[in-house]
């Protein structure tokens, strides 16, 4: 069997090479290809999936609950990296809001999602260990469930709400992702200022078509609810090497005065990275190595949205572009990029 990291390099490679060909000087209208999605998987390293046995919504929304249980949203409280950081804080309460939020759309009727949400109480229906829970995003006033369709069901009142339709979901993501606090950089602000046409979910939640739920009738062998176009609640994030590689595009490879120059751009919807705890290093291997052939990217030397940088090396007409990622809490750097250039 091929290891996941090998499969990953292949998709990343295709994306980078396409861009190398597509973003030549003067072709302003060249668009990067859509983000490639990897299948949901258990979180890496120390991170395990969150148990959903006592999640009420999981009784019917089996597939969605399974996807969510592998995301950092489900893990926002139990995450050992988070737990370690908050133990060091004197005012721990200021760190709870977005990690164990109250429902963002309740109680005010029709309200836009509340930004910088307050922490919810630790209850048996919605315990802190569910982190950013289903209710945080979907529960409206008077127990209504808000979503993209307003589909009739006996299970609960469903209402179509702007936060789940068209570009409305950006406001939902921005509610928690625009604040700089602790190790977190409010990258949502970059996204807004850049006026991006893609939505957050276009890059982070895979489109899928399937029934949203099982129903008592379908459990008993009767007809299932209809298949509908939706999105995976498994979040693509930088811990996935294949996804992280897609943050970078090779914009130009040039030979001049015995040097090989490679220009690398940022194709994410915001600056890279979004955490003070994350470090990336990109370097050219194969020629003379030195300060000009490598670049460290972190919260002090970050790559702005739409920004780029040049790596150079001498003594070769071909080189490998190699990237390593040191994730928060990770024991060692992980190679996420390995691309042959000439
Ligand atoms: C305004 C909302 C908000 C508040 C308040 C908040 N966080 Fe977060 N936190 C986030 C978001 C959003 C992320 C994901 C950022 C990312 O991965 O780039 C995050 C991620 C983290 C992570 C990284 C987890 C991982 O494994 O990747 C840590 C650690 C963390 N927060 C600690 C804190 C601490 C400490 C505080 C209090 C000082 C705090 N947070 C308060 C929104 C918040
Ligand atoms: C008893 C089964 C059951 C339970 C429990 C349940 N749901 Fe549902 N839900 C359904 C069915 C059935 C549909 C409609 C499916 C369809 O018609 O496509 C639905 C639809 C939805 C929708 C889409 C709303 C829309 O129309 O836009 C959302 C969002 C949703 N549920 C969230 C939740 C959340 C969050 C919970 C837990 C608080 C939950 N559900 C609990 C069965 C259930
Ligand atoms: C209620 C607050 C909240 C909302 C709303 C929210 N997030 Fe998050 N998000 C978080 C927190 C907190 C984390 C980090 C969890 C942790 O590991 O501690 C996170 C993590 C993530 C990550 C993983 C980052 C990584 O380091 O791997 C992505 C991607 C993400 N969110 C995207 C989104 C998108 C897209 C939306 C809108 C559909 C959204 N978020 C809405 C709070 C929120
Ligand atoms: C961070 C916010 C967030 C959380 C947490 C969240 N959802 Fe969603 N959910 C969304 C967004 C955004 C969409 C709309 C996606 C789209 O445009 O297709 C959505 C769509 C849905 C839909 C409609 C079908 C689909 O796949 O798009 C259902 C049903 C649903 N969610 C149920 C749940 C359940 C059950 C949970 C918990 C296991 C949950 N959601 C957790 C943000 C969230
Ligand atoms: C064009 C695709 C694209 C769009 C649009 C996009 N992202 Fe990202 N995002 C990426 C890529 C690629 C990465 C991996 C690079 C990185 O970690 O910064 C990423 C990383 C992240 C991370 C983890 C950052 C870190 O380093 O800890 C979070 C959180 C996140 N995105 C949230 C969002 C939110 C919220 C939005 C909308 C406001 C959004 N993204 C829009 C592609 C996108």
CATH of domain 1-38+236-342: 2.60.40
> In whole angstroms, how far apart are CA 80 and each of 29, 67, 110, 185, 186?
43, 20, 36, 19, 21
C-alpha of residue 229 to centroid of ligand 4, in Å: 12
- For the residues 135-155, what does the mean pLDDT come to? 93
C-alpha of residue 217 to centroid of ligand 5, in Å: 40
244 pocket-lining for ligand 5 (C-beta < 6 Å): yes
Given a contact cutoff of 8 angstroms between Cβ atoms, the answer to whether 211 and 226 are in contact is yes
C-alpha of residue 267 to centroid of ligand 5, in Å: 10
C-alpha of residue 252 to centroid of ligand 3, in Å: 33
Interatomic CA distance for residues 132 and 172, integer angstroms: 12
Q: Per-domain residue ranges for the chain?
A: 1-38+236-342, 46-231
Which of the residue ranges 2-6, 37-41, 233-237 has the most confident prediction, judged by mean pLDDT?
A: 233-237
Mean pLDDT of the chain, nearest integer: 87
pLDDT tens digits, residue range 188-246?
999 999 988 899 999 999 999 988 998 667 777 777 788 999 999 999 999 889 999 99
* More confident call, 51 vs 14: 51
Enter the tokens of residue 256.
Answer: 């001049």
* More confident call, 11 vs 94: 94
Q: Nearest 5°: CA angle at 188, between 84 and 177?
A: 35
pLDDT tens digits, residue range 111-134?
789 899 999 999 999 999 999 999
- Name the residue with tokens 């309460």: 93
Residue 107 in this model has a pLDDT that exceeds 70? yes
- For the residues 291-317, what does the mean pLDDT come to? 96
Enter the tokens of residue 292.
Answer: 């000009």
What are φ and ψ of residue 169, in 5° steps? Answer: -70, -20
**Residues at CB less than 6 angstroms from ligand 3:** 72-73, 75-76, 79, 82, 98-99, 101, 104, 117, 132, 136-137, 169, 172-173, 175-177, 200-201, 204, 235, 237-239
- Which of 235, 308, 241 has the alpha carbon at shortest distance from 280? 241
> In whole angstroms, how far apart are CA 82 and each of 34, 96, 266?
31, 10, 27
Enter the tokens of residue 74.
Answer: 């489900």
Q: How does DSSP assign 220-239, residue by residue?
A: TTSPPPPEEEEE-SSPP-TT
Residue 46 in this model has a pLDDT that exceeds 60? no
pLDDT tens digits, residue range 71-88?
999 999 999 999 999 999
231 pocket-lining for ligand 4 (C-beta < 6 Å): yes
Enter the tokens of residue 72.
Answer: 């950092």
Q: How confident is the model at residue 47 (pLDDT cuts 50, 70, 90)?
A: low
What are φ and ψ of residue 340, in 5° steps? Answer: -85, 130
């Amino acid at each position: 069997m091929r290891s996941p990291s090998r499969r990953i390099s292949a998709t990343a490679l295709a994306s980078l090479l396409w861009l190398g060909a597509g973003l030549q000087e003067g072709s302003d209208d060249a668009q990067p290809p859509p983000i490639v999605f990897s299948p949901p998987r258990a979180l890496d390293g120390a991170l395990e999936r969150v148990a959903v046995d006592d999640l009420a919504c999981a009784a019917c929304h089996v597939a969605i609950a399974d996807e969510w249980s592998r995301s950092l949203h489900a893990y926002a409280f139990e995450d050992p990296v988070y737990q370690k950081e908050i133990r060091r804080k004197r005012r721990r309460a200021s760190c709870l809001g977005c990690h164990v939020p109250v429902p963002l759309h309740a109680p005010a009727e029709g309200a836009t999602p509340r930004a910088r949400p307050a922490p919810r109480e630790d209850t048996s229906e919605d315990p802190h260990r569910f982190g950013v829970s289903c209710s945080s995003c979907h529960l409206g006033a008077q127990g209504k469930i808000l979503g993209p369709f307003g589909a009739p069901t006996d299970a609960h009142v469903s209402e179509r709400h702007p936060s789940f339709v068209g570009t409305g979901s950006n406001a939902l993501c921005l509610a928690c992702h625009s604040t700089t606090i602790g190790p977190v950089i409010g990258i949502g602000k970059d996204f807004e200022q850049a006026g991006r046409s893609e939505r957050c979910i276009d890059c982070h939640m895979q489109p899928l078509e399937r029934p949203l739920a099982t129903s008592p009738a379908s459990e008993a062998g009767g007809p299932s609810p209809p298949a509908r176009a939706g999105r995976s609640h498994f979040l693509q994030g930088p811990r996935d090497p294949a996804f992280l590689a897609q943050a970078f595009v090779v914009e130009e490879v040039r030979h001049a005065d015995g040097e090989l120059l490679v220009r690398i751009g940022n194709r994410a919807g915001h600056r890279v990275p979004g955490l003070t705890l994350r470090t990336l290093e990109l370097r050219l291997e194969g020629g003379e190595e030195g300060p000009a052939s490598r670049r460290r990217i972190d919260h002090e030397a970050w790559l702005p949205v739409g920004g780029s940088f040049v790596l150079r090396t001498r003594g070769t007409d071909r080189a490998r572009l190699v990237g390593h990622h040191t994730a928060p809490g990770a024991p060692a750097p992980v190679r996420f990029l390995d691309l042959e250039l000439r």
